[in-house]
């Protein structure tokens, strides 16, 4: 009987040790998996934030560049084209576009006449 009791105790101890080891291994694996998943989620979130910030910065830079180019083109066209139009319109009837001097006098000249109109 004594031997049977000792064998039973040894088997019970071995079973308990195996169960404890399995439980510890499972818990450790679960904790490691949870940590890995959390790290992956954090890394993905950081990457998404960085990508969004880069896209916003690129869009803002593109919009600013387009606005500057449009302003430069419009001002350049205005500075270049309007005097050309004025000279063409003025040369078609041999006069220049009336200008107002500081005395409030509009002057218009042509090749044949000169007139002044007081306003």
Domain that holds residue 51: 2-94
DSSP characters for the chain?
Answer: -HHHHHHHHHHHHHHHHHHHHHHHHHHHHHHHHHHHHHHHHHHHHHHHHHHHHHHHHHHHHHHHHHHHHHHHHHHHHHHHHHHHHHHHHHHHTT----EE-TTSEEEEE-SS-EEEEE-
- Give me the tens of pLDDT residue by residue for the chain, a chain 119 residues long: 556 666 777 888 889 999 999 999 999 999 999 999 999 999 999 999 999 999 999 999 999 999 999 888 887 776 666 666 666 665 555 554 455 444 444 455 545 555 555 55
User: Is the residue at 75 inside a domain?
Assistant: yes
For residue 30, is it within any domain?
Answer: yes
What is the domain count for the chain? 1
């Amino acid at each position: 009987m004594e031997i049977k009791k000792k064998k039973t105790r040894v088997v019970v101890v071995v079973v308990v040790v195996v169960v404890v080891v399995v439980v510890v291994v499972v818990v450790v694996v679960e904790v490691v998996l949870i940590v890995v998943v959390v790290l992956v989620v954090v890394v993905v979130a950081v990457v998404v934030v960085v990508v969004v910030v880069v896209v916003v910065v690129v869009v803002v830079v593109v919009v600013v560049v387009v606005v500057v180019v449009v302003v430069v083109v419009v001002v350049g066209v205005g500075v270049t084209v309007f005097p050309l139009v004025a000279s063409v319109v003025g040369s078609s009837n041999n006069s220049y576009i009336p200008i107002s001097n500081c005395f409030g006098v509009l002057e218009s000249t042509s090749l044949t006449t000169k007139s002044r109109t007081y306003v």
